[in-house]
Structure 1
């Protein structure tokens, strides 16, 4: 029986209009190196400091600690600017899905490649918070674990926070290859969703258990699994 559903944020549960992608590319390019859409996509879902470091190096630059810190600061500035101009919104059906899961006793957690200082203001904009009378049971950010995706640590931390011990009782959903990799590395059910930039074939080329149109379809998936037993 599933006891925990852990979902990515941007592109999976939140429509932030692709601004993370643009901010990441721009903050790296402002260091004087070039990026490609493919290279940036490869690092979507990952810890943003790790992504910036890798993208600077891939562009032929030197990822010194000062350069990475400055670029990360710029990333956060750009994201605030973009979100002020075009506020993020919940993806269709996500809030209803979360409420339905929690009504059935299933914990709901968010995991994100954002650091806590980026994630919290975004969640506040949406009115999402953790608590018995709120939408979420836990939020785990990439700066709170030893490594971000594709490492499994954020999912395992979400399990720790919600008191779930069995990886077989966990679903992890996301819109990127790194999300699927983290789920597989964690030993949980890996669910790809098509609300990000990648299509079905892109996600299906990587190890997974299910591919859904969106997080909104997770309650129906669980109903189908139960009926099949």
Structure 2
């Protein structure tokens, strides 16, 4: 009987860095340091889930950002400009990523439950390998130690929303059937990555980029505030159509049980 063989997690906003602040705040700083150009935290969040070079390019293509850039520099943003911002971003992100290495609540318990079911744990990320290598030791110390991890620049083929980081995880983890694999992510490109790989997809509504709350804000929020944040995130995921949408990783064990029941009855990911 088919059962879930592996769960592949995104990192920031999914298992670590509640609210996904490590990359977004550094994007704001990189634009400012590279060109004395201001973007908002909201603008920095829009393309979250893409590889970081592609993310910078996508921010620059936002109509409001492109208009301000044109007004400030009398020309559109160029590839050379993106390279400068990226080269500014990288050392800042490497230096500061450990400051955002606290696991999202219940991550350790969920990992333990998955391993008790002989489910393998993979991960992939929009971080480049240099940033990932700075983050992994802190994640391990804090209790998250996946069986395999792929960075966005580990493969010569495209990053998200292409399926290759998920498929590389499956190969290395020895998963022999895509429908026994689950992708968990807090961004629409990450969900599309899983959809394109043919695996089950689980979107996180409140711990990641779309809600954009700090852990303290989440814990202090009343039901109305959480409902509003949940609604915003659900709308952000509407086009990617995840199989499941849950608040945080704490809710994942229930989803795994439901997927196992569906697999037992012959169902596949949507």
**Distance in 2, Cα, partners of 1:6 & 1:128:** 20
Q: What count of residue pairs does the alignment treat as equivalent?
A: 222
- Determine the structure 1 residue equivalent to 2:23: 20
Are 2:112 and 1:96 equivalent residues in the alignment? Answer: no
Q: Specify which of 118, 121, 146 is matched with residue 134 of structure 2.
A: 121
- Determine the structure 2 residue equivalent to 1:47: 51
**Distance in 1, Cα, partners of 2:169 & 2:39:** 33
TM-score (norm 1): 0.86
User: Displacement of 1:225 after TM fit?
Assistant: 3.7
Root-mean-square deviation (Å)? 2.4
Contact 2:5 2:119 in 1 (8 A): yes
Are 2:86 and 1:72 equivalent residues in the alignment? Answer: yes
List aligned pairs for 1:1-229, cutoff 5 A: 1-15=3-17, 18-32=21-35, 35=39, 37=41, 39-58=43-62, 59=66, 60-64=76-80, 67-83=81-97, 86-127=99-140, 135-145=145-155, 146-194=157-205, 195-198=207-210, 199=230, 200-206=233-239, 207-226=241-260
* 1:29–1:165 distance in 2 versus 1, CA, 3 Å: farther
User: Displacement of 1:109 after TM fit?
Assistant: 0.6
TM-score (norm 2): 0.74
**Distance in 2, Cα, partners of 1:212 & 1:137:** 24
Contact 1:5 1:108 in 2 (8 A): yes
**Distance in 2, Cα, partners of 1:170 & 1:226:** 11
Gaps of 5+ in 1: none
Contact 2:94 2:130 in 1 (8 A): no
Query: Once superposed, which parts of structure 1, at least 4 consecutive aligned residues long, lie more than 4 Å away?
Result: 36-39
**Distance in 1, Cα, partners of 2:162 & 2:117:** 29
Looking at secondary structure, tell me which structure has more strand per residue: 1
**Distance in 2, Cα, partners of 1:118 & 1:2:** 30
**Distance in 2, Cα, partners of 1:26 & 1:61:** 17
**Distance in 1, Cα, partners of 2:175 & 2:186:** 23
Gaps of 5+ in 2: 67-75, 211-229, 266-270
**Distance in 2, Cα, partners of 1:210 & 1:187:** 14
- 1:14-52 Cα deviation digits (max 9, x unpaired): 016612111123323444355455543232111111212
